[in-house]
Amino acid sequence: MEYKVLDVAFSGLMHDIGKFIQRTKMVSDLTEREKVVTPMAKAGYYTHLHSGYTSRFFHEYLGMDNELEMITSSHHIDDQRPLAKILRKADQIASSIDRKDEEKDFEENNKKGTFQQVRLSSVVHEVDFGKQKALATYPLRPFHKMGYPTADFEMTDKNESVGEYLSLFQTFINDLKSEDYFTSEVDKYCFDRLYALMYEYTTLVPASTFEGSKTYVSLFDHSKLTSAIASCLYLNDTEDENFIMFEFDVSGIQKFIFKVTEGKDTKRDVAKSLRGRSFLVSAITNIITYSYLYEFGLTQSNIIFNTGGGALLLLPKCKNFEEKLNKVTQKVQEILLDKFSVDINY
């Protein structure tokens, strides 16, 4: 099949969703169909069981039963199809940045392991304050209820931990089903909605829990990065694994925000004007960011960060990337000059 960048980005975003389901199980209950996409070790036991649960998620909750689902679910199997190779390489690059891969994710560990009990750790523990700090972790909850990390973390028992995962996952599924926006074809709206749901429900879910109690990368961050890297690999002209880190800053922000009229008739509205101008700067930054993404056909996964006055994007190293960058830059700068004269530029 021929795939769009959006398909590749979607595959990268959802490739590890099976980990969410896997941690709601006391023991593995993969079906024979799901084991087809699950690798088997030479010793005769299945490994990377989350692959089978990714397949289950696609079938049960997204209604997808096609080649895209098969390639996404089987990303730990040596498949030589182009998209499969891209996804596997993107996952390896993203994983090597923050952790080892899940070598310990096999059947026996799913029966007696503690992988459901490990929680996301705060990076503050890694900062040297001159004395050892207690390990602090985040409770398993939606992002909007994040709160502060808890010091002196103690694991709950396996039953309770699985119950916490099950409760969070069910809330995720309820939100997923609340709007009939998904079809078997991946479109931009579908991608953005699932991206938002992943952000809400997997930001505080650890990406990997087989390396012990210290895990600092969330399932959302790993999935987002895999999605961004896969998109770049797809758009690179050759099998080059290099990328472009593109950064911009909006200038003139402070002068623009505080350039408000304080005459007797408008003085009472100064605070409102400040808020409005601050919002406008954020909106301008978003417009610039998405203008570059649109030109390359990329998704929001490729935004490394996007603040009120600048952004950092991961872009492909394709032959015409400079041409694309210059095209967008010239157009946006012309619009800013027309709207704001020299007050706002980047």
Q: What is the pLDDT of residue 309?
A: 84
Query: pLDDT > 90: what percent of the chain?
Result: 51
108 and 11, same domain (yes or no): yes
The last residue of a domain, from among 179, 205, 235: 235
What are 75-84's pLDDT values in tens digits? 999 889 999 9
Question: What's the average model confidence in pLDDT over 211-235?
Answer: 91
Structural domain tally of the chain? Answer: 2
Which of 180, 202, 235 delimits the end of a domain? 235
**Quick check: is 125 in a domain?**
no
Give me the pLDDT at residue 184, please: 67
124 vs 163, higher pLDDT: 163
Neighbours of 243 (CB within 10 A): 21
- Read off the pLDDT band of 59 (50, 70, 90): very high
Mean pLDDT of the chain: 86
Whether residue 38 contacts residue 30, with contact meaning beta carbons closer than 8 Å, is answered with yes
Q: Which two tokens stand for residue 228?
A: 């961004």
Q: Write down the pLDDT at residue 4.
A: 92
Domain membership of residue 153 (yes or no) is: no
Count the neighbouring beta carbons within 10 Å of the beta carbon of residue 323: 10
Q: Is residue 101 part of a domain?
A: yes
What would the two tokens of residue 7 be?
Answer: 């398909």
Mean pLDDT of 233-254: 85
Q: Are residues 224 and 316 in the same domain?
A: no
Tell me what pLDDT residue 88 has.
93
Q: What is the pLDDT of residues 118-133, one digit of tens each?
A: 889 888 777 777 776 6
Q: Is the pLDDT of residue 104 over 70?
A: no
Please report whether residue 51 resides in a domain.
yes
- Report the alpha-carbon distance of residue 29 to residue 217 in Å, rounded: 27
Check residues 191 and 343 and name the one with the higher pLDDT: 191
Are residues 309 and 169 part of one domain? Answer: no
Choose between 208 and 91: higher pLDDT: 91
Whether residue 258 is predicted with pLDDT greater than 90 in this model: the reply is no
Across 283-309, b (16+ Cβ under 10 Å) vs e yields ebbeebbeebbebbebbbbbbeebeeb
Question: What is the pLDDT confidence band of residue 31, given thresholds at 50, 70 and 90?
Answer: very high
Same domain (yes/no): 54, 166? yes
Do 252 and 331 lie in one domain? The reply is yes
Q: How sure is the predictor about 135, in pLDDT bands with cuts at 50, 70 and 90?
A: confident
Q: Are residues 86 and 51 in the same domain?
A: yes
Q: Which residue among 235, 264, 297 closes a domain?
A: 235
Q: Which tens digits make up the pLDDT trace of 262-283?
A: 555 555 666 777 777 778 888 8
Position 309 in a domain: yes
pLDDT tens-digit profile of 313-333?
999 998 888 999 999 999 999
pLDDT at residue 140, as a whole number: 92
Nearest Cα neighbor of 79 from 108, 40, 30, 37 is 37
Whether 324 and 285 map to the same domain: the answer is yes
Please indicate, yes or no, whether residues 49 and 168 belong to a single structural domain of this protein: yes
Quick one: 225 and 327 in the same domain? Answer: no
Say what percent of the chain tops pLDDT 70. 87
The verdict on 323 and 176 lying in the same domain is: no
> Taking the C-alpha atoms of 144, 157, 167 and 198 in order, what is their torsion angle to the nearest 10 degrees?
50
Tokens in use for 181?
């926006």
Residue 299 covered by a domain:
yes
For residue 268, the enclosing domain spans 243-340
CB atoms within 10 A of CB 110: 22
3-state helix, strand, coil in the chain (%, to 5): 50, 10, 40
Residues 310 and 176 in one domain: no
pLDDT(344) > 90: no
Residue 247 lies in a domain: yes
Amino acid, single-letter form, for residue 231: S
By the 8 A CB rule, do 129 and 144 touch? no
Assess whether pLDDT exceeds 60 at residue 194.
yes
Average pLDDT over residues 46-68: 92
Residues 281, 227, single domain; the answer is: no
| Gap between the Cα atoms of 140 and 129, Å rounded | 27
Question: Are the C-beta atoms of residues 216 and 123 closer than 8 Å to each other?
Answer: yes
In a domain, 139, yes or no: no
Q: What is the pLDDT of residue 233?
A: 95
